[in-house]
Amino acid sequence: MPDVTTSHFISTSSDDPAHLTLQGDWVLEHYAQLRQQVRELSRSGTSYRSADLHRIGRLDTAGGQLLADLLGAELIRQLADSDRDLPEERRVLLTRIADSLQEEPPTHPQQNAALELLGNLGQYVVGLCQHTLVLLAFIGMTLAGMAAGLLRPGTWRITSIVAQIEQIALNAVAIVALLTFMVGAVIAFLGATVLADFGATIYTVDLVAFSFLREFAVLLTAILMAGRTASAFTAQIGSMKANEEIDAIRALGLNPLHILVIPRVIAMIISLPALTFIGMLSGMLGGAVVCSLALDISPTMFLHILEQNVAVRHFYLGMAKAPLFAFLIAIIGCMEGFKVSGSAESVGEHTTSAVVQSIFVVILLDALAALFFMEMGW
């Protein structure tokens, strides 16, 4: 006789190790013993090609699941389809077990594109409202801190303010002057090209003066500060947040708002109007150079036309927007720094967010201010 290995539920033969003879009751009552024997056979790594199920007494879903683990879904289905001697109810049970093992995971029904777009829009609006509330709260905290500082002048951190002015204003003079000079030259050249068709090239002076005194100088400077300074504020405060330096400041009994935010806000409010004034001068200088070289308008005539045709109120209107832009740029940069969660990736994300938000707010407020000034007749 061939060598046979037999257990209470599973028998194997040395003549055909890939064939199993199953017996006994494969039910939940014997689940622990069945699972142990199935595990032992599974560890052997043998791939079973056939099995005899006729000696199984009772069979339920728990036993059927163990059969599937032992034999595999394909062999279970093959036995259920080919062995007509098995009872019908047992064949149905084995087929369903094989189907459950081979069926693909359910796919979520495709959502309507319009509904998905509407849901995304709703999430964006809710996020925008929440972000606006946080920004307003941070503005209120900063204004309250600045108002408290007015009552106690000794708490002003003059050294920090002066250091920030150096970084914000003095180090940015060259880039602001160069940018506005080139933009002024371009505007003068384009204006002269268009106005030449009407014989009104002399009004190129007015075009350059109006555009830089009212809009371009403050707008270009604010956008530069949003990209250069707001990002620096976020990166500096975010790095301190990631290194737990802000927690150390609080542990010392100090207020991070007074130490980190207010000096930067004050420095920005001082620096941006000064840079805007430099931008106005540099932009009109670029226009004057083009007028002198291309239109035969001498610098003396340029200044005379400027004095005769351009009222000083345009200068005031342009400068009036600078402190507001400076305040919002500094607030957004500092607020995004405090939002950093602690990783380098978070610092980069909030730095990008600070730049985008600052530029958006600056352009939005500038457009609203232009409409308001136009309606007021200014």
HSE, side-chain direction, 13 A CA sphere, residue 145: 23
Are 148 and 168 within 8 A, CB to CB?
no
Determine which of 84-88, 187-191, 364-368 has the lowest per-residue pLDDT on average.
84-88
Q: What is the DSSP letter of 110?
A: P
Note the pLDDT tens digit of each residue in 140-163: 999 998 888 888 877 788 888 999
- H-helix segments, the chain: 31-43, 61-71, 73-82, 88-102, 113-151, 158-168, 173-195, 204-211, 217-225, 231-242, 245-251, 256, 262-294, 299-309, 313-338, 344-376
Query: Could you tell me if residue 160 is inside a domain?
Result: yes
3 state DSSP class of 368: helix
Provide the percentage of residues in the chain whose pLDDT is more than 90. Answer: 28
pLDDT-based confidence at 1, cuts 50/70/90?
very low
Sign of dihedral through CA atoms 67, 73, 75, 80?
A: positive
Query: Could you tell me if residue 110 is inside a domain?
Result: no
| pLDDT at position 364 | 93
Q: What's the total number of domains in the chain?
A: 2
Amino acid at 97: I
For the range 124-129, what are the long-range contacts, defined as Cβ-Cβ under 8 Å and sequence gap of 24 or more? none
Across 87-114, average pLDDT: 69
Are 209 and 276 within 8 A, CB to CB?
no
Range of the domain at 30: 4-102
Note the pLDDT tens digit of each residue in 273-296: 999 999 999 999 999 999 888 888
Residues 96, 169, single domain; the answer is no
Residues 75, 213, single domain; the answer is no
Query: Average pLDDT over the chain, rounded to whole?
Result: 83
pTM of the entire predicted model: 0.67
User: Which residue has better confidence, 112 or 235?
Assistant: 235
Residues 257, 343, single domain; the answer is yes
Residues 303, 368, single domain; the answer is yes
pLDDT-based confidence at 111, cuts 50/70/90?
low
pLDDT-based confidence at 127, cuts 50/70/90?
confident
Whether 136 shows a pLDDT value over 70: the answer reads yes
Which of 68, 102, 136 terminates a domain? The answer is: 102
For the domain that residue 88 is a member of, what is the CATH number? Answer: 3.30.750
Query: Could you tell me if residue 129 is inside a domain?
Result: no
Amino acid at 243: N
Amino acid at 328: L
Walk across the sheet containing 19-26 and list its strands.
4-6, 10-13, 19-26, 50-59
Query: Could you tell me if residue 140 is inside a domain?
Result: no
Which of 38, 70, 102 terminates a domain? The answer is: 102
Residues 296, 181, single domain; the answer is yes
Residues 88, 182, single domain; the answer is no
